[in-house]
Each structure stands twice: as C-alpha cells, then as structure tokens.
Amino acid sequence: MVDQVTGQDGAAPAGEEHAFSAEVGRLLDLVVHALYSEREIFLRELVANAADATDRRRFEALTDAARTLPEDAKVRIDPDKDARRLTISDDGAGMSKDELARNLGTIARSGTRAFGQELEKQKPEDLPKDRPSLIGQFGVGFYAAFMVADHVDVVSRRAGSDEAWRWSSDGKGGFTLSPATRERPGTDIILHIKEDADEFLDAWRLEAIVRKWADHIVWPITIRRDGEDAPANVGTALWRKPRSEVTEDQLNDFYRHVSHNFDTPWATLHWHAEGTIDFTALLFIPGSRPFEFGEQVRDSRVRLHVRRMFITDDAALLPSWLRFVQGVVDTEDLPLNVSREMLQATPVLARIRKAVTNRVLNELRTRAKDAESYAGFWENFGPVLKEGVWDDAEYRTDLAGLARFRSSAVEGWTTLAEYVSRLKDGQEAIYYLTGDNPDTLPASPQLEGFRARGIEVLLLSDPVDSFWPERLGTFEGKALRSVSQGHADLEKFATAEEETGPRADLDVLLPALKTALGEAVSDVRGTNRLVGSAVVLSAAGQGPDLQLQRLLRRSGQAVPDLAPVLEVNATHPLVRDLAERVARGESVRDIALILLDIARIQDGESPKDPAGFASRLTATLTRAADVAAS
C-alpha cells in the first residue's frame, strides 16, 4: 500500500521545490515547539485527518460512484522500528498535486475547512441525511507531526484519479512535490521519527494514545503488531446514539471507562441540545464516593469532544462543586484548530458550560424528591456541593435548596425550607452549630439553651460548613446565625429552668474568675444558653467563631490568637458554690482554670497545658475525697 518514498541513502527523491507561504514560515516553529502541551497529540491530529478524509470520500461517493469506499476502509498505523518510520494510512478522499500544495503549503489553508464551506453553500434540502461530520482541519494539525519527526512524507492519490503525488519536507524552508505511486486512493503520512521520540515506534504506546484521544472515532483504527493489523479503538461514539439504542450494560461499561470507578452510576444524563448551541452529553453521577475524592483535585474532568474527537478533560465544563460528575460533552460548534488549548475564552464553551450545569442541577432537583436515594448521594457528595454555596454567587440559592442537614430536632436529613416551616413564633433566624464530629455535636453544651426552649439547631460537621453560612446570609428571609452568636436571641424565649431555682451571685463571681484566668480569656460573663453544663466558650467580638479559627490554624493560615469568652451558667450547683467561696474570701483560681479547660474539651479542643490540667484536677479530686472521708 505505502509507496517507497526514500532512496538508498534515505534522501527524498528529486522533485519540484516549493517554498512555504509566509504564514508557515512564521508559525511552523510555534506549532512544533509551543502549540501543544503533549507531543503525543500529533497522533490525534493525524488520525483525525485520516478519519475526516474517509468521511469525506464516503460523502463524495453518494454522487460519484468512482469514489466509492472499499468495504474494508479504515485508518492504519504502522510503526517500523528498524526503519525508524511511522506511517498513518487511510482510504479517504486523497489529494491531488494542487491540493497537496495548497493544503500542506499554507498553514492557514485547510482542505477540510474548504470542503465544509462548500457544503454550507448548498441548500439544506439538497444535502443527504448522512451528511458527514467533519472532524479536523488539515492545516495546523498536520504540522504537529514535526514535533516527533525530522522529516515527513505524504503520499496521496485522489479518489477518482490514477495519479499519485508525494509531498516531502523537513519542516523548515519549504517542501518538494514529485510523482509517486499508490495502489488505491487515499493518503499515507510517513514520519521519520526523531532520535528522542522512540516511544512513538512502540505499538503498545501507540495503542494507548489512540485509546486516550481517539477511541470513539467511528472508522476502525488498526495498529500493525507482529505482522498483523490489531484493532485499536472501540469505534462507536456511544453518546451520539439515541438513548433508546443504548443498553444499561453499555452505559455502565462506558461509565467505568471514563471514571475509572468500579461501581454503577447513581444517575445517568444523556441528551442532545439543539438551538443556539449544538452538543451531545453523556454524564454520570457516581454511585459511591471515589477513594481519596474531594481534596486533591478540585477541577471538573468531564471530557470535551469535538465531532467525536477527544480534545481535553481540562475545559472546566462543570464548576468545581460538580467535579464528581463524569462523562463526555461532544459539540459541533467548536473547531479542531489552534484555539483548542485556549478554550476558556470562547463564548461557545461558556454557553455549553452553563447549559450543562443547569441540566445537572435539574437532575438533582428531580432526584431529590426520592429522599432515601438522595440521602445516599448527599452523604457521598454533599460536602462538595456545599462548596458552591460559598464560592458561586450565581448558583448559591439553588444549591442551598438542594442541601441537606442533620438537626437537633428531627431524625435523618432535613432541608432549609423544612427548617423554616418549623420555626417557633417570633423566631427570626436559622440557627446552626459547627463542629468536627457529627456524633458528638448533639451532646454539645452549646445546644442546651436552644433545646430547652424548643428551638431547632442545624448540626454542621463538614469543614466547608464554617464558611458558607456567612456567604448565603439568609434563606427565605431568615438570617443564618451560629448558636455562639445567637445567645442574645434566647432572651425572647423563656424556660421553666430560668424562672425557678437559686442562682449564683455573678456580680461577685465574674470579677474573681476574670482575675484568676487573666489573658487566657477575653471576658467572663453569664449566659442563658446553658442548662446542664457549668460553662461554655464563645468567640470574642465579631471575629470568626471558634470552629473556624481551628480550621484556619489546621490549614496553616495565620490566625490572631483571639482569647475566647468564658460563659458561665448561674443556675449550676458548681457555679453557685464558687460564688459562695468567693464571698467567703477563698481562692478559686485552680477550679477556674479547670473549668476553662473543661470548656475547651467540650468544644473539641485540648487543654492548653494538659499536664497542668491533670495536676489541678487530681489535686481537686483528692481534696474532695479527703473532705468526704472526714
């Protein structure tokens, strides 16, 4: 099939010398050295061109029987290690001498693009139903071959002609055109591989590249291995099939292929969008949380295809708070040209992003109606979705409506809307408590005053929960407020515990505790939000609450050493006893320090001085035992 293109000494045969156009002279070095971030992309470009040429010939054969495709039409890749030569062959439309000069001699010229423009001139009713989908632009992409080859030969025979021509170039000053022979119409691209590109002569490496970049090109792709042509691609763009023609097994297999997971998807979204933009999408929401998911990679990895051809998985087709979604988006509205690596700036891609994001959110709203199923999804990916409440103003309200929370008042998960429906008369805020451990939050002393008054509190234990409530601000007109900042609100709601029983004389006790604790606290004050506990900590002033301060310190961020406020329960027996001791002139320093450390432990912290805490607690218990014994 492939014409011998070099003589005994390896030099290209003599022929007509042509200089590259000025555009090629200026841009070829950029294409070779700076255009693509991965050298392996050259194979994607050449395979795309080959598949496009085959598609073009199939279309031309509809009106010209002389151009009919052979039944075994395919793209063949043939590595020859001994000759250091890699050949990509197709049975496509081929090129004449003039087309070789035009299409490969001017970087801005594209045979494929010109063909597409010709199609656009025709009336829609004159076009056949199986109009070809043109994959590549033969201009810029072809020159990627020079990233791995120091010399390239193209042998091509135009379908419907008996004449073949050879295009030869080292990618520098120009190219040579000379007569050639080829058994049947089509094109051979022969790359004479550079010394540092041996990997592209290995059949297994080539197959991996095809699987990655061109697995779903509809034309068969084969790689010559051990004297035989072995299949290298699946050859079916599953996402382009009607949903009714795709089985669940096929969908699950494809999901595992793109996600590298082993579960089955919780949700599958398969649709074709038409209108101002045209694209097909096949997306999956995993059924389980991937190992080590969430913190390492925050970018969406949905794959972008253009006319079935994989372009990148780094186009940010979904926001980071939907990064758990896997799959493919394939569009007809983007070109396969130099701009593929500058996709972030294209308005077409921005519209696709918005459409895909809205479609995923609509799916989540629909599936949220099945509370049991949605609970499983939320446990897997809820923390990620809540990131959007923090950093995405456009979708903040939508995501707040999709969020689920544990609560001090109900079993299972609840929503913000359901919380609002249960508000007490006169309650103007949605209260929440943040912490590290969801199992210990329900027993937090921070809840005592709210629980005693029948006020519901949302229990938040994900790291992001310390951030997003501030950004959301309100929901359905109700402010979100941390319980550590909501103690003043409790004055409006009386409890039986507050109205009966003796109380400590705080006017006597509080100054003594402030003196005993010194700079360890910013203030000591009484509180009405405790029932069974003696003390509780709260943040000083209007700064970040204590949980947020801890998170910031763990992440290595500089946080001012803000001393907390110690709040004391005037109705607690221990507090009353301390007040009486102060009134008798006794020192309460050791017990005050113990109470501060107890408050820290209740709040999920460790004592600042564990040894001192243990020593003081042991001494206090010993004295209590001696008193009891006497």
Can you give the CATH number for the domain in which 307 is found? 3.30.230.80
* 464 and 595 inside one domain: no
Q: Is the pLDDT of residue 11 over 50?
A: no
User: Is 524 inside a domain boundary?
Assistant: yes
* 591 and 535 inside one domain: yes
Sheet (strand 174-180) strand order: 16-19, 174-180, 164-169, 149-157, 186-193, 85-90, 75-80, 221-225, 228-231
Top-confidence residue, 35 or 139: 35
Query: Are 415 and 399 within 8 A, CB to CB?
Result: no
Strand partners, 114: none
Q: How confident is the model over 84-93, as pLDDT tens digits?
A: 999 999 999 9
* Model pLDDT, residue 127: 53
* 184 and 227 inside one domain: yes
* 208 and 319 inside one domain: no
**CATH code (residue 428):** 3.40.50.11260
Going by pLDDT thresholds of 50, 70 and 90, the confidence category of residue 36 is low
* Model pLDDT, residue 3: 45
Top-confidence residue, 132 or 285: 285
Alpha-helical runs (H) found in 369-525: 371-391, 396-402, 416-421, 448-452, 468-472, 496-499, 506-517
Q: Which of 346, 368, 390 is the last residue of a domain?
A: 368
User: Is 89 inside a domain boundary?
Assistant: yes
* Model pLDDT, residue 549: 67
Which residues carry a binding-site annotation?
A: 45, 49, 90, 95, 103, 110-111, 137-142, 187, 340
* 80 and 223 inside one domain: yes
Number of domains, the chain:
4
**CATH code (residue 592):** 1.20.120.790
Going by pLDDT thresholds of 50, 70 and 90, the confidence category of residue 410 is very high
User: Is 114 inside a domain boundary?
Assistant: yes
* 221 and 253 inside one domain: no
* 226 and 326 inside one domain: no
User: Is 495 inside a domain boundary?
Assistant: no
Q: How confident is the model over 385-408, as pLDDT tens digits?
A: 999 999 999 999 999 999 999 999
Share of the chain above pLDDT 70, in %: 82
414: containing domain:
379-483
Q: Which of 319, 343, 368 is the last residue of a domain?
A: 368
Q: Is the pLDDT of residue 212 over 80?
A: yes
User: Is 501 inside a domain boundary?
Assistant: no
Q: Which amino acid is at 562?
A: L
Nearest alpha carbon to residue 227 among 89, 78, 82: 78
Least confident interval from 150-154, 284-288, 363-367, 531-535: 531-535
**CATH code (residue 107):** 3.30.565.10
Alpha carbons 526 and 105: distance in angstroms, whole number: 85
The mean pLDDT of 259-268, rounded to a whole number, is 88
User: Is 7 inside a domain boundary?
Assistant: no
User: Is 496 inside a domain boundary?
Assistant: no
Which residues carry a binding-site annotation for ATP?
A: 45, 49, 90, 95, 103, 110-111, 137-142, 187, 340
Q: Is the pLDDT of residue 313 over 60?
A: yes
User: Is 16 inside a domain boundary?
Assistant: no
The mean pLDDT of 577-587, rounded to a whole number, is 93
* 147 and 258 inside one domain: no
Q: Which of 368, 399, 428 is the last residue of a domain?
A: 368
* 252 and 341 inside one domain: yes
Q: Is the pLDDT of residue 450 over 80?
A: yes
Q: How confident is the model over 220-250, as pLDDT tens digits?
A: 999 999 999 999 998 878 999 898 999 998 8
* 314 and 455 inside one domain: no
Angle at 51 between CA 49 and CA 53, to 5 degrees: 70
